[in-house]
């Protein structure tokens, strides 16, 4: 997890917190789709996202398919190759959005994928709420 702040005198600062899921497999270009599916069997990534707040829905993300960027995300859940552990990144109500990190749009989850929580400061106070998201790790599922 990594955080960056941006902003100018006129614009309120923006905070970006990056989350990186590690690469789980290295497939060659000629690895068959059936072999990729078998190697990632049981891995599930779900993302609650959409083009607007009103259009958000749960999107199942295949571990072997390229993730498409959505402009607004609410939470991301990953049950990958780490046994019975589920990792969830969730924004708090009305706080920022979770998106695919810049430069990560043409990647599959097995390649290792980056997500980013983005929030802007309150325009009046120019203060950021660093508690706008939570990371939850559930074991023994």
How many Cα atoms within 13 Å fall on the side-chain side of residue 62? 8
Task: Please tell me the predicted confidence (pLDDT) of residue 39.
Answer: 93
Picking from 108, 32, 106, 99, the residue whose alpha carbon sits closest to that of residue 64 is 108
Ordered per-residue pLDDT tens for the chain, 141 residues = 555 556 555 666 788 888 888 888 999 989 999 999 999 998 988 999 988 888 999 999 888 988 877 778 999 999 888 777 888 999 887 778 888 888 777 788 898 888 888 888 777 777 776 678 888 888 865
Task: Please tell me the predicted confidence (pLDDT) of residue 4.
Answer: 59
Task: Please tell me the predicted confidence (pLDDT) of residue 3.
Answer: 55
Distance CA 60, CA 123 (A): 35
Task: Please tell me the predicted confidence (pLDDT) of residue 141.
Answer: 57
Confirm if 49 and 69 have CB atoms less than 8 A apart: no
DSSP state of 119: E
């Amino acid at each position: 997890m990594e955080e960056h702040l941006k902003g100018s005198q006129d614009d309120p600062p923006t905070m970006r917190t990056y989350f990186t899921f590690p690469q789980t497999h290295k497939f060659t270009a000629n690895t068959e789709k059936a072999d990729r599916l078998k190697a990632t069997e049981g891995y599930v990534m779900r993302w609650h996202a959409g083009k607007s707040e009103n259009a958000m829905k749960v999107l199942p993300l295949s571990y072997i398919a390229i993730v498409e960027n959505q402009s607004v995300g609410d939470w991301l859940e990953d049950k990958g190759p780490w046994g019975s552990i589920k990792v969830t990144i969730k924004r708090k109500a009305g706080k920022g959005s979770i998106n695919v990190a810049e430069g990560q749009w043409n990647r599959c989850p097995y390649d290792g994928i980056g997500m980013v929580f983005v929030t802007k400061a309150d325009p009046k106070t120019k203060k950021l709420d660093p508690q706008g998201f939570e990371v939850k790790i559930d074991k023994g599922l």
